[in-house]
Chains A and B, each alone.
Chain A
Amino acid sequence: MNPKTFNRRDSLKSLAALGAAGTLGAFSELAFAQKPITVGVIYVGPRDDYGYNQAQAEAAAALKKMTGVKVVEEENVPETAAVQKSMTGMIAQDGATLLFPTSFGYFDPHVLAVAAKFPNVRFAHCGGLWTEGKHPKNAASYFGYIDECQYLNGVIAGHMSKSGKIGFVAAKPIPQVLRNINAFTMGARSVKPGITTNVIFTGDWSMPVKEAEATNSLADQGVDVFTMHVDGPKVIVETAAKRGKMVCGYHASQAKLAPQAYLTGAEWNWLTAYNTFIDAARNGKPHPNFVRGGLKEGFVKMSAYGPAVTDTAKKSADGVKAQMIAGKFDIFKGPLKDNKGAVVIPAGKSYPQTDIELEKMNYLVEGVVGSA
């Protein structure tokens, strides 16, 4: 791709837009309000990892199709001084005014350091760490309540599992991951109360060998439906399918990797978040600092059901999904016990998704085999 022809094409587009605006008169104000913008997107891994980075890259690919938006991308950028250089490079060398540094570990200290140096550039970081009063106004967080989708994964898994044992391959026992494990388990147990989730923590976000070992070991223990929370679920999906087991995906759709074994999946829909930031930047509105949502707001979505999913399972999951979208369904409500028997949420108490108490989760619920 030659940047010169790229620019020419872009300017042709904006010329056309200008012409159209001129003839339509009334719309001209609108057309001029949409300033052209250069957006930088940075990934910690490869863009085509069937996981965390691909979910972000899919949104970036959609941005590229928008008129007046130029996207510069960089993949495999570690959470070191390198990402500070990528950010400042996008600003100084490419003229980017809105950056999406997408890895969780980029925020502190890297995004904070660069945001302080460039007050006129907007930063939107994925992960939900921005805090009012503590962090600069030109930085922001976006995140989604993907545990809703993991709950629905669980509902499907509950219907489809024959052994009553389902498996979860996880990276680290941190609140975000624990919340997904718990939601998945509670979804399954809402269908069949006796189901247990076996959890294996691999210790880091991208450990393909350990992930394959964990999947095999869980399959040996009789687990027949898998899901996961690691950066690239590819290995787990393929290994589980090879063992003749079923899979619920995570981050992006892995249906292509195992069309028969893939039941459904919890996917991000980052374009919703990206659009929020771009609209604000192009219209000169203040930077939205704290952006998040679930199924209702379109921040997360479910993969299309695979061929193996039964109609009863679909109906049951769709029912819960409709309730979630209507805002009538709280996943974490009392009485709830952890897997050591202690009450973590008393009867009558219910946490809506937005409650920050849920972001400190440090327990595994009843039915999970494993320890945090």
Chain B
Amino acid sequence: MRDSIKESLLPIAAIAAALLLFGIVVWFAGVNPAQVWLLLFKGAFGDWYSWQNTLQRAAPLMLTALCVALPARAGLVIIGGEGALVLGGLACAALAQELPLPQNIVGTWAVCLAGAAAGALWIMLAGWLRQFRGINETISSLLLAYVAIGLFKHLVEGPLRDPSSLNKPSTFALGQGLQIAGIGGSDVHWGFVLGVIACGVSALWLRWTPSGFSVRVVGGNLRTAQLMGLPASRLVLLACGMGGASAGLAGAVEVAAVHTSANASLIAGYGYSGILVSFIARHHPLAVIPVAIVFGGFGAAGSLLQRRLGLPDASVLLLQGIAFVMILASESLRDFEWKALWVRIAPRAGVAASAGALERNASKEVSA
């Protein structure tokens, strides 16, 4: 219990420190830091509008973060979620275009599953190359993302193009019945719920199922896993497949809920932002949820900061950068023995006040 308090207090303290530093930076730029803090809060979490803004931005990040987190638990560093996302979006649009789907929830599920399947296969390819061809999965997944984007553009600008999309090559738009609407009239679409569910299910899978446990063993110590007779390669492919399916689903949801057709606007870097989200969440699926929301909040707050104070967009990137450095730096405090520090300080504090005063005076003289 104490540990989990420490686990969550550290990043909160890191973000607070980042906000403080950011305040100093904008102060030097001639902007009142208190006003910046107020606007950051107002823009991200100030009212219902801001909450919708934040949650909507967080939705795709949760799913793309899982594309990093799940393979990471099996010991892989996959950074090509962008590729799975764009192919997921493409598969979603292509299925709707090529097959007469029922224009209702069944059709929506079909296009979403198509997206998930495309993403799963793509990341499993990177996992397969690693397990059976000895190719580093970090490099191959990143390069495969470029291949995926190339493939996406070729198909969207060629065989799958809606001929009426003259200056912005796109596929045909999804039928109204296939599109995903907002939750209860709000701007937050069901993709957010899917993201939360995916994070929750992933956490349960890793924690409570034999296969989830086996994946963690493979990631923790491959030799041990092999000694125990676990099918390491199959488990690695499973983790890659689940991660890829999440990113592919994110792409499908982006198409079905936001863009309505697959086009170059889909390539917006969600896959890459997911890498940061996952690393900050320490590849823990449940921690991905709040981290993605904080990220969404940065985006929402940055928007207001630009409009109200005329600060450049780069200022929010700066804040994000400071926040990451602080969070990474706080990692070094994770194993810090606070108790030991307390043990060292406490006896002195316990000594009679006069002695303390004496000591302080003495140290003052020394420093003087």
Chain A interface residues toward B at CB < 8 A: 1-3, 40, 46-47, 72-82, 84-86, 88-90, 92-94, 104-105, 108-109, 127, 129, 172, 174-176, 203-204, 359-360
A40: chain B residues at CB < 8 Å are: 307
B32: chain A residues at CB < 8 Å are: 2
User: Whole-angstrom distance from the CB of B297 to the nearest CB of chain A?
Assistant: 12
Among A1, A93, A105, A109, the residue within 8 A (CB) of B260 is A109
Q: Is the CB of A82 within 8 A of B167?
A: no
Q: Is the CB of A93 within 8 A of B166?
A: no
A80: chain B residues at CB < 8 Å are: 254, 258-259, 265-266, 268
Known contacts: A1-B309, A76-B313. The answer to whether A86 contacts B167 by CB under 8 A is no
Q: Which residue of B lies closest to A75 (CB)?
A: B313
Q: Is the CB of B49 within 8 A of A93?
A: yes
Q: With an 8 A cutoff between CB atoms, is B133 at the interface?
A: no
A204 to B153, CA, bound (A): 10
B31-59 residues with Cβ-Cβ distance < 8 A to A are: 32, 35, 49, 53, 56-57
A39 to B260, CA, bound (A): 28
A93 to B299, CA, bound (A): 15
Q: Is the CB of B168 within 8 A of A105?
A: yes
A84 to B307, CA, bound (A): 15
B254: chain A residues at CB < 8 Å are: 80
Q: Is the CB of B306 within 8 A of A81?
A: no
Q: Is the CB of B310 within 8 A of A89?
A: no
Chain B interface residues toward A at CB < 8 A: 32, 35, 49, 53, 56-57, 153, 157, 166-169, 173, 187, 254, 258-260, 263-266, 268-269, 299-300, 303-304, 306-310, 312-313
User: Whole-angstrom distance from the CB of A196 to the nearest CB of chain B?
Assistant: 26
A89 to B301, CA, bound (A): 11
A86: chain B residues at CB < 8 Å are: 303
A76 to B53, CA, bound (A): 17
Q: Which residue of B lies closest to A205 (CB)?
A: B264
Secondary structure type dominating chain A contacts: mixed
Among B269, B307, B310, the residue within 8 A (CB) of A93 is B307
Secondary structure type dominating chain B contacts: helix
Q: Is the CB of A104 within 8 A of B53?
A: no
Q: Is the CB of A176 within 8 A of B167?
A: yes
Q: Is the CB of A75 within 8 A of B53?
A: no
Q: Which residue of A lies closest to B317 (CB)?
A: A76
User: Whole-angstrom distance from the CB of B205 to the nearest CB of chain A?
Assistant: 29
Q: Which residue of B lies closest to A76 (CB)?
A: B313
Q: Is the CB of B309 within 8 A of A74?
A: no
B157: chain A residues at CB < 8 Å are: 172
Which of B32, B254, B310 has the largest count of A CB atoms less than 10 A from its CB? Answer: B310
Q: Is the CB of A74 within 8 A of B258?
A: no
A176 to B168, CA, bound (A): 10
A92: chain B residues at CB < 8 Å are: 49
Q: Is the CB of B169 within 8 A of A85?
A: no
Q: Is the CB of A75 within 8 A of B306?
A: yes
A258 to B256, CA, bound (A): 46
Q: Is the CB of A75 within 8 A of B312?
A: yes
Known contacts: A81-B57, A105-B264. The answer to whether A174 contacts B169 by CB under 8 A is yes
A46: chain B residues at CB < 8 Å are: 312-313
B265: chain A residues at CB < 8 Å are: 78-80, 105
Q: Is the CB of B166 within 8 A of A360?
A: yes
A81-B258, A85-B187 given. 12 additional CB < 8 A pairs? A72-B307, A73-B306, A75-B313, A76-B313, A78-B268, A80-B259, A80-B268, A82-B303, A90-B307, A93-B49, A175-B167, A176-B167
